[in-house]
Amino acid sequence: MIRVLTAAAVILTFTPATAHAATCSGANPAITSVVVKNVTTAGELNTYHLVGTVTNLGSQAQPSSTLQFVDIYAETEKHDNRGVPPLAPGQSYTFGYNWQRATDAGNGSTTVHFRIQMKQGTNCNPGNGSYSVTF
Note down the domain range covering 39: 26-134
Distance CA 82, CA 68 (A): 9
pTM of the model: 0.81
Indicate the DSSP class of residue 128.
Answer: G
- Cβ(94)–Cβ(52) below 8 Å: yes
The yes-or-no verdict on residue 79 having pLDDT over 80 is yes
Query: Considering its fold, how many domains does the chain have in total?
Result: 1
16 occurs within a structural domain: no
The CATH number of the domain holding residue 93 is 2.60.40.10
pLDDT single digits (tens) 57-73? 999 999 999 999 999 99
What's the number of CA atoms in the CB half-sphere (13 Å) around residue 17?
A: 3
Domain assignment of residue 13, yes or no: no
In a domain, 127, yes or no: yes
Element (H, E) at 92: strand 92-102
